[in-house]
Structure 1
Amino acid sequence: MNTLLLYPALLAALAVLFVTLALLRPVDHDESQYVAAAALTAHGLLPYRDFAYLQTPLQPYLFAPIAALAGTWTWPALRVLNALLGVATIACVHTTARTLGAKPKAALACAALLATCDILLFSIGTARNDALPAALLAAALPLIVRPAITRKTAALAGLLLASAAAAKISYAFPALAYGLYALVDRRHRPASILLGTLPVVAFVAWTYVISPAGFVFGTVTFPARGPAEYYALRPWKMSLPAKAIDTLKFLALGAALPALALGTRDAWRRRTVGLLDWLILAGLIAALLPFPTWRQYLLPALPALFVRLSLIPPPSRAWRIAIAIFATAGLAPSVAALADSDGLSLTQALREGQAVGRMLDRRGITGPIATLSPQILPAANRLPDPAFATGPFYFRSTKLLDAAQEHALHLISRARVKLDGSTILTGGEGPASSGDASLDRALATAARDAGYDAIPIPGTRFTAFTPPARTPASPRPAPHNNP
C-alpha cells in the first residue's frame, strides 16, 4: 500500500524534473524540422505533399493540435510534451515489470535506472521525434506480456506498435519482431494484432498516395543516402570501428550497458530466449543498421531491456556498484549540457524569435520566412517557407536530387539555391546549436548575390534579407505603322 501511495508522487516529481530539464536544455538544430513540421501541419499543409518531411508521417499530425493551441510557444510546448512522454515511457516500463511479477522494489529500481540513461534524457529533452514512438512502444509492453491476451488487447497492441513505426521507422523492427513471435506463439492472437495495425497502415498508405515521391524520399531515400553524402569527407564516422565505439559509449552513459550484460548472461544460463529478448535484439538491430549510430537510435531497445533487468535475480554487490556508477555517468551529459556556457538556451532563442517577429511587423513583412532555423519562427509568429521545412538537413545536400526533383519535392539545396522572393533569415545555424555555420553563410551569400537587402536584428544572432524592390515594368513600345 505504501508503494502504491508513493508511486504517483514519484511520477509527479519525475514529470517536474523532466520538464525542467527539457526547458533548460540548450538548443539543438535537430529540432528544426520537427517544430517546422508541426507548425506547418497545424496550418493545413500536409507532409510530403506540401513540404518535405524526412521521417515517417505520424508525429506532425499528432502534434499539430498542440502547435495550433500553443501558437508562439510551439517550440517549448513540444519539448514539454516530449518530456511528459518520457514519464509515460518510464511508467509503462514499471507497469510491465510488475505485470510480469517483478518485485515492487526491483520494478521501481529498473524504471529509475532507465530514467538515468543519457539515451532517454536526450531523446525526451528536445523537440525531436524520439519520445513519441518510445512511449507508444512502452505502452504496448504491458499488453503483450499479460498471461491472458484478449482480442481487444492484442488489437490495441498492434495499433500501438504500428503507430510507433509510423512515428519513426526504426520502431518497425520491434513491431515486426513481436508480429513474428505472435505467429509462433498463437496465444498472442496474431490475427487481432494485424487487425489493430490496419488503421495505421491505412493512414500511412494515404500519406504515400498524396505524394508517392515525397514519401519515398523522406522515409527511405534521404535516411539511406543523406548521411553518407554528408560524412563523405569524414569516412571514419561511417566505419564499423566508429560504430562499435559510439554504440558502447552511448550504452555506457547510463545503466543500459550493464543491463544488457546481465540480461545476456541470464538468457545464456537459462538457455532460453523470451519475448523481451527478441524485442531487445530487434531494437539493437534498428540502432545498428544506420550509419553513423547516434544515441537516440538505441532508444527502441531500452524499454524491454529494463523490464528484462527487473526479472533477473538480484546481482552481486559488485554488479550493483557498477550499475550505480554507470547510472551516475548517464546523468553527466545532461549536467554538462546545462552548464555549457557556449550553448544557446531555449529562453534566449525564444527572445530572439520574438525580436525577429517585431522587426518583421515593423516592416510589414507577413509571408513565409526562408531559414535554416525554422524552429524559432513560431515565436516570431511566422511560418517557415515550405522549401526550408527540413532546416539544414536537406539544404546541406549536393547530389541527392536534381533541380527538377527538388522543385517537385519542395526542397532547396546549397548546390542550387533558388530564391523565390521570400524574406531570408540567417544566423541560427552554427556551433551554438550544434550546427554548421557554413550553411547559413551560403544562404546569406546567395541572398546578397541576388541583391537582397541585409537587415541585422539588434540583440540577436540573426540577419534578415529582404528581396530587392521590384521596379515597375517598362511600357511596351507602340507598334509602328511604317510600310
Structure 2
Amino acid sequence: MPRPALAGAVLLAVLVALAWMRGIDHDESQYVAAARLTAAGLLPYRDYAYLQTPLQPFAFAPLVWLFGPLDLAWPALRIANALLGGLTVAATWRAMRTAGVDERTATMCAGLFATCDILLFSAGTARNDALPAALFAVALVPILRAERGDGTMGGALLAGLLLSAAAAAKVSYALPAATYGIWALLHHRHRPTSVALGALPSIVLVAALAAAAPDGFAFGTLIFPARAPAEWYAATGRAWKLGLAIKAIDTAKFLALGPALLALVLVARWGRPSLLAWLTLAGVASALLPSPTWRQYLLPALPPLFVMLALRLERLPPARGWYRAFAGFAAIGLVPSIVAVTSGTGMIVGVAETRALAVQSVGGTVATLSPQFLPDNALPDPRFATGPFYFRSRALVTASREARLHLVSHPRLTASFAMRPPDFILVGGEGTWASGTDELDRLLERWAVTRGWGRVDTGGRLRLYAPPAARRAALPAIRPE
C-alpha cells in the first residue's frame, strides 16, 4: 500500500476509535435531535427549532433511517463525523499535491493537521463541524486547479456546489465561501458564472426552508447566536468570558493545541498574499465573530492554512528548529483527546443507556435536554430539539413567539406543558458527567415530581418519568416520588 494510503487508513482507524471512546458532550444533543426529527419527516424551522443553517439534518437523516432501528443512530452520527474528519485531512493532502507540493511534504503537513485538537474534537463528536469542513477541504482541489490555470467548467461548478453546501451546513463557512466568490469575480480563470451556478442547489434549499418559516429561520441562524450567549454568561456570572482579551487568549490557546498556531506564525512571516491567505483569514474571522470563541469555530481556517504551510516548507524551508517545534506542538495537540478518552464515559455508556430505555418500551414524544439517548421508537419533543441551549434562556422572545417557534424556556415550562404535555420526561443526561448543567435537568425533574409523575427505573444514570394515568399500566418498575 502506498505510504499516503497507509497513513490515511491509520488515521481513519484512530478517528473512529476516538469517536467511539470520547466522553459524552451535551453539544451533540441538538444535532442528533435534528437528524432524528428530519428523518421522521419534520422540517427545521417550520416544525422544530434548529440553531444552524439546515443542510446537516438532511444529510444525516439517512443514517438515522439505517441505524435507528438498531438504536445506534447517535454512534452512527459520531462515526460519520470521524470519517468526514478523515476526508477533510485527505482532501487537504490532495489540495497540497494540486498546489504542487511533493508527496513527502504533503503527507507530513497533512499529518500535522491531523494532530490539531480543533480537528480531533470536531471529528469525535456528533456536532455539525466535520461535514462542512470536509466539503470545504474537497472544494480546495478544484479551486487550486483553477488558480494555477487548469480549471474547468465542471471544476467551477463543483467548487460552487461544495462551498455553498458547507455554508448551508454551518453558517461560519459563509465568509470563506463569499471570499472565494469575490476572488472568482476578480480572477475570471475561476469561471465565476459556473461557480454561481454550482451554488444554486444549496441556495435553493436554504431559501425554501427560510420561506417556509422565515421567523424560525431568522431566529435560529441570526437572533439566537447573537443574543443567547450574552444572556447565558451574564446569568451564570461569567460575562467576563465574552471580553476581547479572553477571546484573544482562547483563540491562541485553541490554535496552540496542535501545530496550527506555529503554522500561522510561519506562513505570516512568509508574507505572500494569495487566495489561500484570504481563505485562511476568512476562516479566522468567522471564528472570531461569535462570542465566546470555541475551538471548533477555528476549523474553517485550517485546510487552507496547512496547504500554505506545505508550500512554505517546500519552497522556503525554515531552520531545523522549526521542525522540532512542529513535532512538539503536534504532541500537545493530542493531549486533550487522550484526556477525553481516558476520563470520559464514551459511546459504550451512551449505547447502554439507550438500550435500557428501549427495554422500557419508551415511545411517543419525550421532553428531554439529552435527546441523543432516546431509542428509535421515541422522538424528541420538538420543543426540546435544541437540547439545553434554548431551554436555559430566560427572555429571548415573547411567550407567544416561543410557542410559534416550537420552543420552551425554563421559566415557561409549566405553561407550555399545560397546553401540550409530553408522553415522557427524561432527565439525567444533562449532568456534569456529560459536560452539562445538573440544575437544568433538575428543573424538568421537579416539574414531573411535583405533579405526581412516576419514575421508571432504567438501571443507569438516566431517570425516566411517566404521567400518572397514561401508559402506567404498561410500564414496569414505576414508583412514585
* Pair in the same fold by TM > 0.5: yes
1:352 alignment partner in structure 2 = 353
Superposition pairs for residues 76-87 of structure 1, below 5 Å? 76-87=75-86
CA shift digits 1:121-168 (9 cap, x unpaired): 000000000000000000000101112211211111001000000000
Question: Residue 295 of structure 2 aligns to which amino acid in structure 1?
Answer: R
Q: What is the CA-CA distance between 1:468 and the residue it aligns to?
A: 2.4
Deviations along 1:192-231, whole A, 9 cap, x unmatched?
A: 1111111111111011111111111111111111111111
Q: Which amino acid aligns with 1:178?
A: Y
Q: Are 2:328 and 1:325 equivalent residues in the alignment? A: yes
TM-superposition CA deviations, 1:277-303 (whole Å, max 9, x none): 000000000001110000000000000
CA–CA distance in 2 between the matches of 1:78 and 1:381? Answer: 18
- Aligned equivalent of 1:50: 47
Q: Which position in structure 2 is the counterpart of 1:481?
A: none
What are the Cα deviations for residues 85-109 of structure 1, in whole angstroms up to 9, with x where unaligned?
0111111111111111112111111
Once structures 1 and 2 are overlaid, which stretch shifts more, 191-200 or 107-116? 191-200
What is the rounded CA distance, in whole Å, between the counterparts of 1:201 and 1:439 in structure 2? 37
Q: Distance in 1 between matches of 2:293 and 2:42?
A: 32
Matched, 1:110 2:109: yes
Match of 1:5 in 2: 2
Residues 1:237 and 2:241 aligned together: yes
Residue 129 of structure 2 is matched in structure 1 by: 130
Q: Give the match for residue 415 of structure 1.
A: 411
Q: Which runs of 5+ in 2 are unaligned?
A: 471-481
Which of 255, 260, 271 aligns to 1:256? It is: 260
- Which residue in 1 is equivalent to 2:392? 396
Question: Distance in 1 between the 2:466 and 2:67 partners?
Answer: 28
Partner amino acid for 2:319?
S
1:154 pairs with 2:153? no
Q: What amino acid is the match of 1:202?
A: V
Q: Match for residue 468 of structure 2? A: 468
Note if contact 1:130-1:296 (Cα within 8 Å) is conserved in structure 2: yes
CA distance in 2, matches of 1:449, 1:186: 67
Asked if structure 1 preserves the Cα contact closer than 8 Å seen for 2:242 and 2:291, the reply is yes
**Deviation of the 1:366 alpha carbon:** 2.5
Report the AA paired with residue 358 of structure 1: V
2:477 is matched with which residue?
A: none
- The structure number with the bigger radius of gyration is 1
Alpha-carbon shift at residue 352 of structure 1 (Å): 1.2
1:37 and 2:1 matched = no
Alignment correspondent of 2:338: 335
Deviation readout 1:343-371 (Å, 9 max, x if unpaired) = 32211121111112212x2xxx5211111
Task: Give the conservation status (yes or no) of the 8 Å contact 1:254–1:331.
Answer: yes
Q: How does 1:284-295 map to 2 (within 5 A)?
A: 284-295=284-295
Distance 1:315 1:41 in 2: 50
Residue 455 of structure 1 deviates from its aligned partner by: 3.0
What secondary structure, in the 3-state scheme, does the structure 2 residue paired with 1:292 have?
coil
Aligned to 1:457: 458
**Superposition pairs of residues 283-322 of structure 1, within 5 angstroms:** 283-312=283-312, 313-322=316-325
Residues 255-274 of structure 1 aligned to structure 2 (within 5 Å): 255-267=259-271, 272-274=272-274
The within-5 A match list for 1:167-246 is 167-232=169-234, 233-246=237-250
2-structure distance, mates of 1:317, 1:263: 16
Residue 141 of structure 2: aligned partner: 142
2:143, 2:156 within 8 Å by CA — same for their partners in 1? yes
Q: Are the equivalent residues in 1 in contact too, given 2:363–2:379 (CA < 8 A)?
A: no
Aligned twin of 2:449? 448
Residue of structure 1 equivalent to 2:61: 64
Q: Determine the C-alpha separation between the residues in 2 that align with 1:25 and 1:315.
A: 36
- Determine if contact 1:66/1:77 at 8 Å carries over to the other structure: yes
Deviation at 1:450, TM superposition (A): 2.9
Q: Cα distance, 1:405 vs. partner?
A: 1.0
Contact persistence 2:54–2:206 (CA under 8 A): yes
Q: Find the residue that maps to 1:127 and give its secondary structure.
A: coil
Instruction: Tell me the CA shift for residue 12 of structure 1.
Output: 1.4
Residues 116 and 330, structure 1, Cα contact 8 Å, conserved in 2: yes
Q: Is the 8 A contact 1:421 1:467 kept in 2?
A: no
- Is the 1:166–1:204 Cα contact (8 Å) retained in structure 2? yes
What is the one-letter code of the residue matched to 1:189?
A: R
Q: CA deviation at 1:253?
A: 0.3
- Report SS of the residue matched to 2:364: coil
Which residue of the partner structure matches residue 94 of structure 1? Answer: 93
Please name the residue that 2:382 is paired with. 386
Question: Among the aligned pairs, what percent are the same residue?
Answer: 55
Counterpart secondary structure, 2:379: coil
Q: For residue 127 of structure 2, what is the amino acid of its counterpart? A: R
SS of alignment partner, residue 425 of structure 1: strand
Code of the residue aligned with 1:138 in structure 2: it is A
Where does residue 478 of structure 1 map in the other structure?
A: none
- The one-letter amino acid paired with 2:138 is A
Confirm or deny: 8 A CA contact 2:364 2:377 kept in the other structure. no
Which letter maps to 2:36?
A: A
- How far did residue 452 of structure 1 move? 2.0
Indicate the SS of the match to 1:173: helix
CA contact (8 A) 1:427 1:440 kept: yes
Counterpart CA distance in 1 for 2:165 and 2:228 is 25
What do residues 24-78 of structure 1 show as CA deviations (whole Å, max 9, x unaligned)?
A: 1010000001111111111111111111111000000011011110111101101
Q: Is the 8 A contact 1:23 1:79 kept in 2?
A: yes
Aligned length in residues: 455
- 3-state SS of the aligned residue for 1:145? helix
| Aligned partner letter, 1:13 | V
Q: Is the 8 A contact 2:363 2:377 kept in 1?
A: no
What's the C-alpha RMSD, in Å, of the aligned pairs?
Answer: 1.2
